[in-house]
Amino acid sequence: MAGSVPLNSVPPVRTGPGTNRATTEAPWVKWLLIGLASLVLLWLLILPLVIVLMEALKQGWGVYIAALTEPDAMSALKLTLLVAAITVPLNTIFGVAAAWVITKFQFKGKGLMITLIDLPFSISPVVGGLIFVLIFGSNGWFGPWLAEHEFKIIFALPGIVIATLFITFPFVARELIPLMEDQGTREEEAAVTLGASGWRIFWNVTLPNIKWGLLYGIILCNARAMGEFGAVSVVSGHIRGETNTLPLHVEILYNEYQFSASFAVASLLLFLALTTLLIKSWLGDRTMLEKGGKA
Coil/strand/helix, residue 240? coil
C-beta of residue 138 within 8 angstroms of C-beta of residue 63: no
Cα–Cα distance between 277 and 272 in angstroms, integer?
9
Q: How far is CA 66 from CA 60, 77, 127, 225, 234, in A?
A: 10, 14, 35, 25, 28
Cα–Cα distance between 32 and 281 in angstroms, integer?
28
Cα–Cα distance between 116 and 104 in angstroms, integer?
18
pLDDT (tens digit per residue) in 153-183? 999 999 999 999 999 999 999 999 998 888 8
In which region does residue 290 sit, left (phi positive, over 0), alpha (psi from -120 to 50) or beta (all else)? alpha
- How many residues does this entry show for the chain? 295
C-beta of residue 225 within 8 angstroms of C-beta of residue 164: yes
Cα–Cα distance between 218 and 95 in angstroms, integer?
10
Residue type at position 37: A
Cα–Cα distance between 203 and 222 in angstroms, integer?
23
Topology annotation, domain 60-293: MetI-like fold (1.10.3720)
Cα–Cα distance between 146 and 156 in angstroms, integer?
13
Question: What are the sequence ranges of the domains in the chain?
Answer: 30-59, 60-293
pLDDT at 282: 81
Coil/strand/helix, residue 97? helix
pLDDT at 8: 54
CA angle, 39 then 40 then 43, to 5°: 85
Please determine, for residue 198, whether its predicted confidence score (pLDDT) is greater than 80. Answer: no
Q: How far is CA 180 from CA 102, 115, 160, in A?
A: 9, 18, 31
pLDDT at 211: 86
Please determine, for residue 39, whether its predicted confidence score (pLDDT) is greater than 70. Answer: yes
Average pLDDT over residues 278-288: 75
Q: How far is CA 17 from CA 20, 21, 24, 26, in A?
A: 8, 9, 11, 12
C-beta of residue 267 within 8 angstroms of C-beta of residue 75: no
Better-predicted residue by pLDDT, 153 or 24: 153
Reported pTM: 0.80
Longest dimension (CA), the chain: 102
Band (pLDDT 50/70/90 cuts) for residue 109 is: confident
pLDDT at 13: 55
Cα–Cα distance between 80 and 84 in angstroms, integer?
6
Cα–Cα distance between 71 and 94 in angstroms, integer?
35
Nearest to 161 by CA among 57, 81, 255, 92: 81
